[in-house]
Amino acid sequence: MLIGLLFSLDAVSQIGPTLGGSARLFNNAKAEMEKGDFEKANTYFRQIIESNLPISPEMPYYFAVTLYELGQFDNSLNFIKRYLQINGRDAEKYEEARELQRKLQEPINAILACEFCNNQGYRIQTCPTCEGKKQISQACDLCRGRGMVGCNRCFGKGLITKRNVFNLVEYHECDKCHGEGKHTCPTCDGLLNVVSACRTCQGQGMVQTEEICNHEAPTRHMSMIFERIKALHAAID
């Protein structure tokens, strides 16, 4: 989502017309930041970006601050980098941006070292579809779980045409589908399903949640560990 916002920012950051409606939203966002309501301020900033309104060159800095306060450290760093790239040393908030960039290093390093979240800092969990196995028996993509596909030699007609020595058209049974107009799916061999990489997790076994990770093992994870330890002790006894 925020990758798209960064592209939008690229497109409008060079625009210099009257800010109009975006100025009102920008001021509303800054007012909410002063109140400490960073979530509401963040919503105003997103409205500006997603509506393709002209953007103040200083807005990415304020947006990055709200992301930082909301724990979205990776996204915050991306916008700070873009802010400095757009404005350089002439940026009104240059020193503040550099300071925020330094402050972000610790949480970013924690994200990269954490086994419970992805590189964006969102907690990951076992894929509910494949249960972490990465592969699953799924309906065949080619035949869509039917086991049969239309014959591509006779185009489903069961007959093919040939011209004889007298240049007359003759109809013959299709030698590929034997006149059926369809044949066994070559991908699943008629079994309807194939074992392939799970589509839900793209074969990773884990999926991202919307929860910002606190880099602590989830309660369920810990209980599973304790259960395994108990099972091992029981097996030894």
* Secondary element (H or E) of residue 175: none
The answer to whether residues 61 and 104 belong to one domain is yes
pLDDT band of residue 36 (cuts 50, 70, 90) is: very high
Does residue 85 lie within any of the structural domains? Answer: yes
Neighbours of 119 (CB within 10 A): 10
Which H helix or E strand runs over 152? none
**206 within a domain of the structure (yes/no):** yes
Residue 26 lies in a domain: yes
Same domain? For 153 and 211 the reply is no
Task: For residue 226, name the pLDDT band (cuts at 50, 70, 90).
Answer: very low
Any idea what the CATH number is for the domain that residue 102 is in?
Answer: 1.25.40.10
Does residue 19 share a domain with residue 102? yes
Q: What is the pLDDT of residues 69-128, one digit of tens each?
A: 999 999 999 999 999 999 999 999 999 999 999 999 999 999 999 999 998 889 999 999
Hey, what are 7's tokens?
Answer: 């592209």
Short-list 62, 67, 76, 57, CA closest to 31: 62
pLDDT of residue 31: 96
Task: Look at the pTM and tell me if it is higher than 0.85.
Answer: no
Q: Looking at the structure, do residues 181 and 99 belong to the same domain, yes or no?
A: no
Euclidean distance between CA atoms 179 and 234, whole angstroms: 63
Q: How confident is the model over 138-173, as pLDDT tens digits? A: 888 889 889 999 998 899 899 988 888 888 888 999
Same domain, 92 and 29: yes
Per-residue pLDDT tens digits for 183-205: 999 989 988 888 888 888 999 99
- On whether the CB atoms of residues 143 and 166 are closer than 8 A, the answer is no
69 and 149 share one domain = no
Mean pLDDT (whole number) for 43-49 = 92
* CA separation for the pair 33, 30 (Å, rounded): 5
**Tokens matching residue 218:** 């989830």
DSSP symbol at 141: T
Which of 30-39, 149-158, 228-237 bottoms out in mean pLDDT, i.e. has the lowest? 228-237
Q: Is 234 exposed, middle or buried (0-12, 13-18, 19+ CB in 10 A)?
A: exposed
Residue 57, in any domain of the structure = yes
126 and 167 both lie in a single domain: no
Same domain, 183 and 203: no
Number of domain units in the chain = 3
Residue with tokens 């625009």: 15
Asked whether residue 89 falls in the same domain as residue 180, the answer is no
The answer as to whether 138 is a domain residue is no
Are 88 and 167 in a shared domain? Answer: no
Domain encompassing residue 98? 2-113
Tell me, yes or no, whether 64 and 164 share the same domain: no
Same domain, 108 and 184: no
